[in-house]
Structure 1
């Protein structure tokens, strides 16, 4: 069993390497990173906080 998270890029990201983030969901946390710097720093937030952020950002 792999412990490496599966990173997903936003469907809004273009294919030309624009500004975008990637997220990797775990059972209790969500990891966020800059897609251009996969080995750079990562932000880790509680899954409930990420869900609230997504609802807020989508305007619902």
Structure 2
């Protein structure tokens, strides 16, 4: 499964990365973000795009697993 690291980026960059990754991986992927705003915005995008989303806290970061 494709894993993308979007830590250290401010919005809208993580959402743009999630959109590009979703286009190339329609079955699902993982994206790592490091702040709550990015987590919420990426989750909203993924749900609107028809993905199921699981969130896992890893220390100070969030791993979002998107799947169809």
The TM-score bracket by the shorter chain reads: under 0.3
* Structure number with higher relative contact order (C-alpha < 8 Å, ≥ 6 residues apart): 2
Decide which structure has the larger Cα Rg and report it. 1
- Report the TM-score when normalising by structure 2: 0.26
- Report the TM-score when normalising by structure 1: 0.27
